[in-house]
Structures are given as structure tokens and as C-alpha cells.
Amino acid sequence: MQLLKQFWLLAKPYWINRAHWFTWVLLALSIGALLSVVEASVWLNTWNKEFYDALVDLEFDKIQPLMFEFCVIIAIIVVLMVYGQWLQQLVIIRWRTWFTEQLISQWMTDKTYYRMTLGDEPDNPDQRIAEDARLLTSDTISLFVGGIQAVAVLFAFTRILWDLSGQLSFEWNNETFQIAGYLFWVALVYSIVGTLVTHYFGHPLHKLNFAQQRKEADFRARLLRRRDSAEQIALLKGEATEQRQLKNSFQFIASNWYSLMNREKKLGLVVNSYHRVAMMVPLFAGIPALMAKSITIGGLFQVRMAFMKVYAGFSWFVHNYAKLTSWSATVERLGTFTDAMQQQHQAQNIDCQTSMQWRELTVQRPDGKPLLEGMNIELNAGSHLLVSGASGLGKSTLLRTIAGIWPFYEGQIFQQQGETMLLPQRPYLPSGTLHDCLNYPATQTVSNEQLQQVLQLVGLDELAKDVEQTGEWQQVLSGGEQQKFSLARALLAQPDTLILDEATSSLDEATAIALIELIKQQLPQTTLMMVSHQAVLKPLFERHLDLMPYGAAKA
Ligand SMILES: Nc1ncnc2c1ncn2[C@@H]1O[C@H](COP(=O)(O)OP(=O)(O)OP(=O)(O)O)[C@@H](O)[C@H]1O
């Protein structure tokens, strides 16, 4: 029940939205095509009787038109099945596109992607957005349409099977019993037993599938992390350790895989035996009717096909058991992911005033332990503040709090009105053209000349020559160059408040001084707040804040 509720919460926003009426049309057409296949199968069923009867009676003049009829029925079935499937895939991609966009938007809104890393983040959000969204949409549609088709098959063939079965008479305890539509009852009982046995053998698959998806994603994430840190690993000669860790991570996949495959083997033994036996059950069960001459040989083949269809309808659950368990694992994973995202949205928003202010501000770690306590400050627009203090005291965390991305604090914060920009010690440089990298996150269009100008101002003349060149800038540029590049971004963006977190730590002292002076000169209206261990920068700031551990701050 909980699972269905979780599923409904995930599916509802798309399917009740009127804007998606065309997807409903496509879904209806796809279901219509597959229901027509059921209708054509009923036609094929009648054909079966006529054909086998003609064969038994050696009526060759009937066989030729029947062969032509067969070709027509098969052609119709093939075309309907292929187009039905094609329409289903269209429905899937439309839903998946919307669903993935929603997940990405929720993940990106209010810095949720970052806040989630601060608490008990559900594992591998990348996998949930990419893989789980794909599985949810494709499995739901194929299970839903398949389920409807199974019900239609049941309706269409139950009647046929019932009529063909006639009545079975038998004596027991000197009494005569008659069972109408007995082949239908055989199919029903056979399918119920199969379903129960399948569930008994298959139910542990849910947990195993869940674990498998998670472990595969962990392994992929580990590999990615190695690629991102390739240079550091190479310099530290960490290959053997990395190899061991990756091997261990893969061991988890392999051991879970063994459990999964053993469980699937047991289930396979049951499902396959059940299916193979099912093919002969109608022939054996039809013998009494054949002996009573209530059906012909053609009728027996008709019974067999009708029985197999009714059995297939009743056994839909059995045949889709593995898919259903993987689907339920996907729903659970996506449900916890979206719940976790929604909880993140409750983080506080920071209000704006004419000046930046903190009142009785206490910054904490995620576990609630205080880092910095009782801070009060007011920083007028255009003023410059240097924040210093011992390593690990909480300076970067304080800046994150002021920038509005760290939710663990008490007291009041007001940001200065306008744009705030925070430059960290290690800037993020996306790969692509230098133009796009410098203009990241591209809130305005800037000309190449503007870009060249700011690059020259910060001393990156070589890069300024061709801003359209592409590269892996994070790897290509030195630490110091990256910091110059980051400051060039600030010159370009001209924020109202600029927060620098050791943004000149990789530069020599003279260059660091020159660049801070450049910022002050180029952005005279901007409020500048900087965290730095570089004492030579002190004279450039008219206000200083020396942070003390858990104590009062002197401003
Ligand atoms: N996401 C996090 N989860 C848990 N603890 C964190 C997190 N981020 C920071 N901390 C902890 O908060 C403390 C302060 O970290 P912070 O980076 O703010 O220090 P800092 O004063 O800037 O240090 P440094 O001068 O060395 O850069 C550290 O003990 C750190 O381990």
C-alpha cells in the first residue's frame, strides 16, 4: 500500500496535468493497438479449429484459402504489435523527459543538491535521476499496458474456453457431479497455484534488486571519483590502493549478484516448469471432451490456444514477477529521493537590507555543535572586511552561511541588497570554451572583447588571445592561474557583495596584493569580505575580524 502511495506521488503530477493530453492520446492508441491484437488472436483461434479440422478431414480445397487467411491475420497482428510498441515507447520518452526535468529542477532549486550532501543524503542521486527515472517510466508503462492486455485476453478467451469446455461429468460417492466450463477452472486453479509458488520463491528478489542497483551505482561513482582525482592519485602513487578499493567495491556487486542469480535460478526453475507444463495441460484436460466427442481434433487445438491465453492472462503476475520486484525497488528509491529533496526545501531564506548584518549569529556543524558563537556585525555597502582566524575554526563555514547555502545556524543574517558572489579557494572551471567557462554561469551575454579585457587585467594575457579555444580548464590551468581566472569572473559579474574565501592563497604575495587592489579599484561600490591567512593583505582592508573558537569575535 505504501509502495502504491509512493508511486502515485511520483506519477500524479505528470498524468493529471492537462498539458499532457497528447500523451494520454498516444497511450490510448497504444492500448487500442494491443487490444486489437487480442481481437485478431480470437480470429486466429477460430482459424485454428477450421485449419486442423480441414487437415484431419483431408479437405485440401479448404486449406489454401485458410493459409491465405493465416497470412492476413499474422500481418495484422505484426503491424499492430510493432506500432503498439512504438507508441508505448513514445509515451515513455515523453513522460521520462518531463520526469527527469522535474527531478533536475527540484534537485537544483534552493541549492538542494548541495544541502543534501550536508545530511543523510540518499545514495547516488545521479543514478536516481538517470537510471531510476528511466526504469520507473518504462517499467510502469509496459506493466500497465501489459496488465490491460492480460485482462482483455482473459475476457476474450474465457468465454471461448468456457463454451468449448462443455460439461465434465464424474461420479464420486455414488453421486454424479457436473462441472460447467471445467477447462476454465483448470486454468484458474493452475494459475493461482503458480502465482503463489512464484511469490514464495521470488519475494526476496525485491531486496536483492534494490541492493544490486545501489551497489552498481556506488561502483560507478567510485570510478568517476578516481577519474576526477587522477593527477593526485598518480602523484601519490596510489594505484595499488585504488585498485584494492575498486576491487572491494566490485566484490559487493559480485556477491550480491550471486545471491540474485541463485534466487532467479530458483524462480526460473519454477516459472519455466510451470510454463512448459501449461502447454500440455489443456491437451490432457481436453481428452475427456474429445473422448465424449463433444469436441473435434481442431476443437482440441482451439481449446489449447484458448487455454494458453486464459492461463497467460491469469499468469501475468508470474511472468512479470522479476520486473515487478525491480519496479518496486525503483519506486522506493525514487520515493525516498524526492522525499529527501522536499525536506531540504524547508531551509531558511536570507533576507536583504541596505547593509550586511549578523545579529547574535552562531554557526554550527551539521550535527548541531557550535563552531562560532554570538557574532554581531554591520558592514556598510562598499566597505572592505578581512576575516582571519586559525585553521578549522569555521571561516569557510561562516562564508557559506552568509552566502545562504549553509542552513545550520542560529541568530539573524541580512545580506546586502543586490547580487552576492562567493569565490572559493578552488574555483569550479567547467570544460568547454574559455568564453563559457569565464562567463559561467552565464547570466548575461558578454562580448569577447570584455572577456579579453578582464583576462588581461588579472594578468592572463596568454589566455586572452583566444577566448573561443576549448579545453579542460580545471586540469590545464595552474592553481594560481585558476584563482586569477576566478577573480576575472568577479570583475565581469560586478556583484554588489563579493565574498572571497582564500581566493588568492595560491598566488605570490605581490600578485595577491595587486589583484585585491584591482578589485577595489574596478568595483568601488562592491562590499568586499575576504577570508585569508595572508597577513600582507591586512592593510588593504579598513575592517578586520579575528575569529576566536566558540568565543566572542572582535570586530
Ligand atoms: N559538510 C560538513 N560536514 C561536517 N563538518 C564540516 C563540513 N564542512 C565543514 N565541516 C567542519 O567544520 C569545521 C570548520 O571548517 P571550515 O572549512 O569552515 O574551517 P576554516 O576555518 O575555513 O579552515 P581553513 O582555514 O583550514 O580553511 C571543520 O572542523 C570541518 O571539519
Strands (E) across 76-209 are located at 167-172, 175-180
**DSSP β-bridge partners for residue 375:** 361
Residue 554: pLDDT above 50?
Answer: no
Question: In this structure, are residues 313 and 189 in contact, taking their beta carbons and an 8 Å threshold?
Answer: no
pLDDT at residue number 143: 94
Ligand 1 centre and the CA of 388: distance in Å?
A: 14
pLDDT at residue number 552: 47
Question: Are residues 514 and 470 part of one domain?
Answer: yes
553 belongs to a structural domain: no
> Shortest CA distance to 190 belongs to which of 304, 303, 306, 281?
281
> Shortest CA distance to 52 belongs to which of 43, 61, 38, 63?
63
554 belongs to a structural domain: no
Question: Are residues 389 and 329 part of one domain?
Answer: no
Ligand 1 centre and the CA of 503: distance in Å?
A: 16
Greater confidence, 403 or 76?
A: 76
pTM: 0.74
Domain of residue 458: give its range. Answer: 351-546
Question: Are residues 338 and 357 part of one domain?
Answer: no
pLDDT tens string 272-297 = 888 788 888 888 888 877 887 777 88
Question: What one-character DSSP code corresponds to residue 466?
Answer: -
Residues with CB under 6 A from ligand 1: 118, 365-366, 371, 391-397
> Shortest CA distance to 309 belongs to which of 4, 43, 2?
43
Ligand 1 centre and the CA of 240: distance in Å?
A: 30
Question: Are residues 336 and 361 part of one domain?
Answer: no
Question: Are residues 479 and 330 part of one domain?
Answer: no
Does the interface predicted TM-score (ipTM) exceed 0.85? yes
Helix axes 479-493, 509-522, angle to 10 degrees: 10
Question: Are residues 183 and 277 part of one domain?
Answer: yes
Question: What one-character DSSP code corresponds to residue 500?
Answer: E
pLDDT tens string 142-185 = 999 999 998 998 888 888 888 877 777 777 888 888 888 888 88
Question: Are residues 421 and 333 part of one domain?
Answer: no
pLDDT tens string 449-458 = 888 999 999 9
Question: What one-character DSSP code corresponds to residue 109?
Answer: G
Residues contacting residue 451 through CB under 8 Å, at least 6 positions apart:
434, 435, 438, 439, 464, 467, 492
Ligand 1 centre and the CA of 392: distance in Å?
A: 5
Closest residue CA from atom 30 of ligand 1:
392
The CATH code of the domain that includes 395 is: 3.40.50.300
Residues contacting residue 520 through CB under 8 Å, at least 6 positions apart:
384, 528, 540
pLDDT tens string 451-485 = 899 999 999 988 888 888 888 888 888 999 999 99
pLDDT tens string 40-75 = 988 998 898 889 888 888 888 888 899 999 999 999
135 belongs to a structural domain: yes
- Residue linked to cell 525514487: 334
234 belongs to a structural domain: yes
Indicate the top mutation candidate among 373, 387, 393, 409 to test ligand 1's pocket, ranked by most ligand atoms within 8 A of CB. Answer: 393
Which residue among 315, 344, 373 closes a domain?
344
Mean pLDDT of 193-202: 84
Residue 553: pLDDT above 50?
Answer: no
Question: Are residues 276 and 129 part of one domain?
Answer: yes
Banded pLDDT at 112 (limits 50, 70, 90): confident
The number of domains in the chain is 2
Helices (H) and strands (E) in the chain, counts: 20, 13
- In total, the chain counts a number of residues equal to 555
Banded pLDDT at 243 (limits 50, 70, 90): very high
Which residue among 344, 371, 398 closes a domain?
344
pLDDT tens string 133-144 = 999 999 999 999
